[in-house]
Structure 1
Amino acid sequence: MTVQTSRLSTIAKQLSQAAIRLDNIESLLIQHYTADWSDEEKATLEDSFVRELCILAFMLQLSSSRFRSTPSDYYSWSLDKRKSYLGRVPNENHLCKSLIVQNTKYDEKFATPFYYEKYYCCIIQYSSKLNSEAVSRLFRKRMSHVPRKYFNFQFAYDCESITGYPFNAVTPLAMKRRIPVVISNAIVDLDPPFIWLGGGREDVKWFVNVAQLVDAFSAIVGAID
């Protein structure tokens, strides 16, 4: 065996050992944070993709996170039935969705992180409706030097190409590109302060504390519905 081959063999062994250690750390992390999860919630982690999202959530200090799979006919149910199935929340006002909006009049010369960007992830209650004019007002107020004609927010129908997630699966976790998060002030006022929203797959929902969600994504809070 040559010296170079020996070194490569040693490196490969070290990488393998490191991977095992990482797997052990991830397992310990999962065990710690999911100790009080229901059996149904724990079963969701059998999906490796959801497990990765879960670990990311914990790393972002979203310790309140839980994930729950839903039946194929979930979206045909009433909001009350969805709430009853998912559990943990008192009424349908705690069921939320993430919508991607695009400023169709965006001009790069005014680009400003968070306050003037082309895309935003807006989180609202299922029981309400996104108000695109309210979204425009929210950002016009913060960017008063930008002419009104450069604001026009519309629903982005190609959300999968933007976020990596199809409609009904969009989540601010691990989107394919960084997109600022905007949360309805009605959500921030919820009591108890917990919501269910998209969990990265169309049949997975994510439960999280609202304050943790705001902090983790430095979310903008405003009247957008």
Structure 2
Amino acid sequence: MPEPTVVAVATDAPATEVVAATPVIAKPGQLMADACPEPTMTMDDFLAKIYKDAEARLPSQTRFFHVASDYYDWPYAQRARVMGCPSTFHLCKTLIFENTKFKQDPSKPIDEDRYWCVIVQYEGSVNITKLEKAAREKTGATRKATHLRIAPSEKSLELTGFATGGVCAVGMKTDLPILISKELAELSPPIFYLGAGHLDWKVAVPFEDFVEKWNARVTDFS
């Protein structure tokens, strides 16, 4: 894995709040609370779902950011800088995988263990063989009965309530099993940044608390 680009150090970020982030105001090393002391953004329904879930499980421990519409055109270093993110390795994405060889067990709830929520760094990668092994360890399924692939965008939207680019493990419509890359356990400080329901919104979450409260499995799938 390449060395991360260190862009800022945010060690005293305040409690849960909505922060309007813009590359014009934010500077390297500057906390967004200082850059934007009076947030004016309002939370839409998609963001409200994430905020509600975050507050229920991690009161006052998450932080939201509103970014420019061309955010995904920026290099990783600029994306991290505008949120006061410590390094590019703290930037993560949520992917929904489907076991295409899944066969429903009549004794289990519909679709249990068929779909998986996977959290990985943008600077990282997903080794499908390792990911399938992790899934089998949880379900007890055989190798022949496990074939994970990215779920269709329509199915991802149905399961999570979020469109492509805004999928978030927090506030999902369906309680999917979560696999999170072990690389995130080595981050300093131990926080990571995810999409927050919409292309223009991001959320910062403390790693250890997330693993505990969302019952996520820390997995080596890189």
Pairing partner for 1:106 from 92, 98, 102: 102
Are residue 95 (structure 1) and residue 91 (structure 2) matched? Answer: yes
- CA shift for structure 1 position 161: 2.3
- CA shift for structure 1 position 176: 1.8
Name the residue aligned to 2:10. Answer: none
Name the residue aligned to 2:71. Answer: 74
Q: Which amino acid aligns with 1:216?
A: K
- CA shift for structure 1 position 172: 1.5
CA distance in structure 2 between the aligned counterparts of 1:137 and 1:168, rounded to whole angstroms: 26
Name the residue aligned to 1:147. Answer: 142
| Ranges in structure 2 where 5+ consecutive residues have no aligned partner | 1-14, 19-30
- CA shift for structure 1 position 130: 1.8
Q: Cα–Cα, structure 1 residues 147 and 174, in superposed 2: closer, same or farther, change >3 Å?
A: same
Name the residue aligned to 1:198. Answer: 195
Q: Cα–Cα, structure 1 residues 207 and 37, in superposed 2: closer, same or farther, change >3 Å?
A: same
The DSSP-based 3-state class of the residue aligned with 2:82 is helix
Name the residue aligned to 1:163. Answer: 160
- CA shift for structure 1 position 218: 0.5
Name the residue aligned to 2:132. Answer: 136
Question: Which deviations, in whole Å up to 9, do the C-alpha atoms of 1:114-133 show, x marking residues without a partner?
Answer: xx701111000000122222
| Ranges in structure 1 where 5+ consecutive residues have no aligned partner | 1-31
CA distance in structure 1 between the aligned counterparts of 2:129 and 2:36, rounded to whole angstroms: 40
Higher helix share: 1
Name the residue aligned to 1:187. Answer: 184
CA distance in structure 2 between the aligned counterparts of 1:202 and 1:142, rounded to whole angstroms: 31
Question: Which deviations, in whole Å up to 9, do the C-alpha atoms of 1:141-197 show, x marking residues without a partner?
Answer: 3445x3211000001122212211111100122222111111100012211101110
Q: Cα–Cα, structure 1 residues 112 and 222, in superposed 2: closer, same or farther, change >3 Å?
A: farther
Are residue 55 (structure 1) and residue 52 (structure 2) matched? Answer: yes
Q: Cα–Cα, structure 1 residues 153 and 61, in superposed 2: closer, same or farther, change >3 Å?
A: same
Contact 2:49 2:171 survives alignment (8 Å)? no
Contact 2:52 2:171 survives alignment (8 Å)? no
Q: Greater Rg, structure 1 or structure 2? A: 1
TM-score (norm 2): 0.76
Contact 2:94 2:118 survives alignment (8 Å)? yes
Q: Cα–Cα, structure 1 residues 176 and 104, in superposed 2: closer, same or farther, change >3 Å?
A: same
Contact 2:100 2:149 survives alignment (8 Å)? yes
TM-score (norm 1): 0.75
CA distance in structure 2 between the aligned counterparts of 1:180 and 1:141, rounded to whole angstroms: 13
CA distance in structure 2 between the aligned counterparts of 1:197 and 1:189, rounded to whole angstroms: 17
Name the residue aligned to 1:21. Answer: none
CA distance in structure 1 between the aligned counterparts of 2:79 and 2:99, rounded to whole angstroms: 32
Sequence identity (%): 28
CA distance in structure 2 between the aligned counterparts of 1:201 and 1:74, rounded to whole angstroms: 12
Q: Cα–Cα, structure 1 residues 136 and 44, in superposed 2: closer, same or farther, change >3 Å?
A: farther
Contact 2:17 2:64 survives alignment (8 Å)? no
